[in-house]
Structure 1
Amino acid sequence: MSSPAYLTIDEVVERYRGQISQGTFRNWRSLRIGPSFIKIGKVPLYPIEELDRWDRSNLVVCRRSRTFQMNESAIANAAAPSF
């Protein structure tokens, strides 16, 4: 059986492990922010593809810290034999 292309609000809340409430999604829909959705009658449905896109657009990209890089080079220098 194929997986659904759309998620209900309960399924979306479960997807985000309850960290975003139904009320937040309701507010976001009224403000037209947050993930894209479609309404079938009165029921908002969220395309999984759009949720994935929204996740990627909110991805926080981290970089290595300078301290870590300096410590790495200090370890390399300490491991090198000195003559």
Structure 2
Amino acid sequence: MMEPLYLTPEEVTERFRGAISTGTLANWRAMRIGPAFVKIGKSIVYPVADLNEWARLQTVACRATNRLNGEEHEQS
């Protein structure tokens, strides 16, 4: 089965396991923040490609600690 090109707000909530509610999506749309969306009449849909990119931009990169890098520092 092919991945859909667009998701409804309810489907976006499911995709992100409830971490983003439909109410939050509505607030973000009103403030013009969050993932890109398409409005056709009264219908709102989110392009999957834009959701993927938005999620990628939300990724928080963590730096490795010195211990993980194998660099133990002696305390003076």
TM-score, structure 2 length as denominator? 0.85
Report what 1:34 is aligned to. Answer: 34
Taking the aligned partners of 1:66 and 1:37, their CA distance within structure 2 comes to 42
Deviation at 1:12, TM superposition (A): 0.2
Deviation at 1:63, TM superposition (A): 1.3
Q: Deviations over 1:27-48 (max 9, x none)?
A: 0000000000001211110000
Report what 1:48 is aligned to. Answer: 48
Deviation at 1:68, TM superposition (A): 2.6
Taking the aligned partners of 2:46 and 2:17, their CA distance within structure 1 comes to 16
- Cα 1:68–1:5 change in 2 (3 A) is same
Deviation at 1:73, TM superposition (A): 5.1
Deviation at 1:59, TM superposition (A): 1.0
Deviation at 1:52, TM superposition (A): 0.4
Structure 2, unaligned runs of 5 or more: none
Q: Percent identity?
A: 49
More helix by share: 1
Report what 1:20 is aligned to. Answer: 20
Report what 1:2 is aligned to. Answer: 2
